Structure 1
């Protein structure tokens, strides 16, 4: 018998979906910071996590790890922003959970979507680090997923962008962002809150099409759904399928990285050394080297090489926000060249490949490519 046949309420059904997508250790052992804006989705997430925490067995509850609510007040909407903050404070007080409120500093200028998002991420990272929590829970929904995939598609994204929002993703080196409501529809979340009489605040700026995401949410997707009523679900499925492919590609990229890339070291702090899998010369032996187990053809597959280079940038701490598809393709082509072209380099001095965003310069030799990043400051 299903939950609906047993007469479960909308809130109970939402809670079951939430629990199915929440790692077992998130609340019981390592602690959670809940990002709460005061909107419907984040209020629902906060209440669900609080309920889940209260259901822990008594011994675990007495020694449970920290649980925090984090709210960032950008102050962009004057008294409305302050009212959002007050609702979150009242919610935290009613649940008996500590709340941390952040506000922009002098260096946090501008209100571009990407800038505001990065400020919040930095804030969540700091709260997690200070509170000893491992996870940061954010309230992205299935509708957010559909909007993100469509946004990425219209911008000309690659395979990674088509995966949309991940159910879990890293936040710095030590923390993980969880999105346990990613399969829940926005309408279902609001209906569940109304059923329980729980309050939230609507951000009037969400109706403005000044921001691209709002334009997609309020104008583009509703128009598409007049012809394709299940477009949101279709975009969600596309993201799920692409996530599976991306995970497989990510595993191959990590193997490629371990086999062919030397990351920056104390002796070469600003250099990446990338050995050519297509070179006729053997890869130089290194203590940390792992063999590539899949054959030379797959080692030269552009998608794997590019994904590995992206992982190498991340591992080296190099920014790649300005790198577009053309930049990555050019880098991948420089690494994986036809054997004839590689053989012609024999005996030649290092050849400059050009420059990439982030002050990165490339130099190639027959056996490898070196990327050097100019130190700034």
Structure 2
């Protein structure tokens, strides 16, 4: 049977980012909402892992669907669609229902994430595969930019990253192998094989900021710059390369500055020796850009909220580390920061 070119191109794009040899012998949980992106990802991975049919892989694929119940019957219809799809593909499915009353983006994301984590642990899976596209990546960067992100935030969504910096989630990996594929390209690929998907009508509502970016901001940009999305995607790739080059510098900064993780205690930069002034190979401890990105990593490891931490807050923390400004302050997320004669300590008030 001849594979239509759009579908073959999609499979080739996934293979180039995530070769089947990397997941064929381990467990993969695929988050499937029923939308085009996740349906294409599930179909593509199943076809790849089962080819050639003569060599049965020791690994497995499990689909996971979280029904938020935000849209009543429509949400239930999404779940039914995913159930029928997985039966057709002969893939096990896990479904969980959320609380329809909690409709804010952050709560929905947290509950879905907890569900995926539980499914991975239950099945002993190594990967969580998610169908984020190039458009999702661009929208994420625009969202972060307007909230005041730092350079690493401009690197967008990582194609591979640990599920969590917490030890309980560090053995699991989130894979997003479709970040180089456009949303329209994915839909064209599905049409070429007559594969249906579900459209979430709530995506048309601008009540959520990300939807406003998708429905209003990006089209307005494209009206003046038709190639805006691929252009931003190329910029993201450049930032990602810069981020990868910066990671060893951040590691050395933390090794020199962090005293302990719980409570998070950091040496005052104005109390550390001046090695960087005489040793050209030393980590620039007083470089604000490096310090801020190292602090972001501390936040992630501690499980503290990053949402409301803007560049103003990171700059204030850096100044306190450098011996300037007040000796005590409260940051978003109820993070209290205190400075003594040699160190700065950060503690979450409710933790």
TM over 0.5: yes
2:71 corresponds, among 77, 81, 84, to 77
User: C-alpha distance in 2, partners of 1:353/1:225?
Assistant: 46
User: C-alpha distance in 2, partners of 1:94/1:224?
Assistant: 40
Q: Please give the residue correspondences for 1:255-274 in structure 2 after superposition, counting only pairs within 5 Å.
A: 255-264=252-261, 270-274=262-266
1:203 corresponds, among 200, 205, 208, to 200
Determine whether 1:352 maps to 2:327.
yes
Three-state SS of the structure 2 residue aligned to 1:102 is: strand
Q: Deviations over 1:240-272 (max 9, x none)?
A: 1111222223332122112221223xxxxx422
The equivalent of 2:231 in structure 1 is 234
User: C-alpha distance in 2, partners of 1:356/1:223?
Assistant: 35
Three-state SS of the structure 1 residue aligned to 2:23 is: helix
User: C-alpha distance in 1, partners of 2:295/2:245?
Assistant: 16
- Are the equivalent residues in 1 in contact too, given 2:67–2:76 (CA < 8 A)? yes
The equivalent of 1:286 in structure 2 is none
Question: In the comparison of the two structures, how many residue pairs are matched?
Answer: 342
User: C-alpha distance in 2, partners of 1:73/1:252?
Assistant: 42
User: C-alpha distance in 1, partners of 2:73/2:25?
Assistant: 38
The equivalent of 1:333 in structure 2 is 319
Three-state SS of the structure 2 residue aligned to 1:139 is: coil
CA displacement at 1:23 relative to structure 2: 5.0
Q: CA RMSD in A?
A: 2.7
The answer for unaligned runs of 5 or more in structure 2 is: 165-169
Determine whether 1:28 maps to 2:28.
no
User: C-alpha distance in 2, partners of 1:231/1:328?
Assistant: 30
- Are the equivalent residues in 1 in contact too, given 2:4–2:193 (CA < 8 A)? no
1:306 corresponds, among 292, 297, 303, to 292
Three-state SS of the structure 1 residue aligned to 2:271 is: coil
Cα gap change, 1:225/1:281 in structure 2, threshold over 3 Å: closer, same or farther?
closer
- Are the equivalent residues in 2 in contact too, given 1:163–1:243 (CA < 8 A)? yes
CA displacement at 1:188 relative to structure 2: 1.2
What is the TM-score normalised by the length of structure 2? Answer: 0.88
Three-state SS of the structure 2 residue aligned to 1:174 is: coil
What is the TM-score normalised by the length of structure 1? Answer: 0.82
Cα gap change, 1:155/1:319 in structure 2, threshold over 3 Å: closer, same or farther?
closer
Q: Deviations over 1:254-299 (max 9, x none)?
A: 22112221223xxxxx42221234425599xxxxxxxx98426x12
Q: Please give the residue correspondences for 1:149-168 in structure 2 after superposition, counting only pairs within 5 Å.
A: 149-168=141-160
Cα gap change, 1:211/1:194 in structure 2, threshold over 3 Å: closer, same or farther?
same
Q: Deviations over 1:285-323 (max 9, x none)?
A: xxxxxxx98426x12101111221222233344444443
Three-state SS of the structure 1 residue aligned to 2:309 is: coil
Determine whether 1:219 maps to 2:206.
no
1:117 corresponds, among 94, 103, 109, to 109
Cα gap change, 1:204/1:245 in structure 2, threshold over 3 Å: closer, same or farther?
same
Three-state SS of the structure 2 residue aligned to 1:90 is: helix
The answer for unaligned runs of 5 or more in structure 1 is: 1-5, 265-269, 284-291, 342-350
Determine whether 1:47 maps to 2:47.
no
